[in-house]
């Protein structure tokens, strides 16, 4: 799977959070476009962070996180780099550990490893 394919399929499968990410992306960068999918995944992470902060049930995003993890298997290098740097480096950013914990617990191991590799710790430390 390529990054553009993931971008398009995720937006189709998860329209609610995609619309929230679109709004954030539009305010920061202009209307979302597939050519800027990498940056859009940063907006997706921020949108999920806002959900965490609002204590939205993490089960709402378990399927999405598993979908991203599944895309890593056989995904392009660009896709892997985007989920590592664009998504996971931003997910959990400035979220209190008490609010991050339920989301961290449902985050697949590979995605957690990206976060820890960049930040040097889990968001719970």
pLDDT tens for each residue of 19-63: 999 999 999 999 999 888 999 999 999 999 999 999 999 999 999
Q: What's the pLDDT at 124? A: 93
Q: What's the pLDDT at 103? A: 98
Q: What is the pLDDT of residues 59-108, one digit of tens each?
A: 999 999 999 999 998 889 999 999 999 999 999 999 999 999 999 999 99
Q: How far is CA 63 from CA 6, 66, 68, 107, in A?
A: 14, 5, 9, 10
Please name which of 46, 41, 39, 48 lies closest in space to residue 16, comparing C-alpha atoms.
48
Taking the C-alpha atoms of residue 62 and residue 26, their distance in angstroms, rounded to an integer, is: 25
Q: What's the pLDDT at 34? A: 87
Please name which of 49, 15, 53, 56 lies closest in space to residue 32, comparing C-alpha atoms.
15
Mean pLDDT, the chain, rounded, equals 96
Q: What's the pLDDT at 75? A: 85
- Asked if residue 74 lies in contact with residue 1, where contact means CB atoms within 8 angstroms, the answer is yes
Q: What's the pLDDT at 5? A: 95
């Amino acid at each position: 799977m390529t990054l553009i394919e993931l971008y398009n399929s995720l937006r189709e499968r998860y329209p609610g959070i995609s619309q929230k990410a679109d709004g954030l992306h539009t305010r920061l960068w202009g209307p979302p476009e597939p050519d800027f999918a990498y940056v859009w995944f940063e907006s997706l992470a921020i949108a999920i962070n806002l959900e965490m902060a609002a204590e939205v049930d993490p089960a709402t995003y378990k399927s999405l996180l598993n979908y991203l993890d599944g895309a890593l298997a056989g995904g392009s290098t660009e896709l892997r780099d985007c989920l590592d740097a664009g998504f996971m480096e931003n997910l959990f950013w400035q979220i209190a550990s008490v609010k991050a914990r339920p989301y961290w617990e449902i985050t697949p191991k590979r995605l957690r490893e990206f976060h820890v590799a960049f930040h040097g710790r889990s968001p719970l430390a």
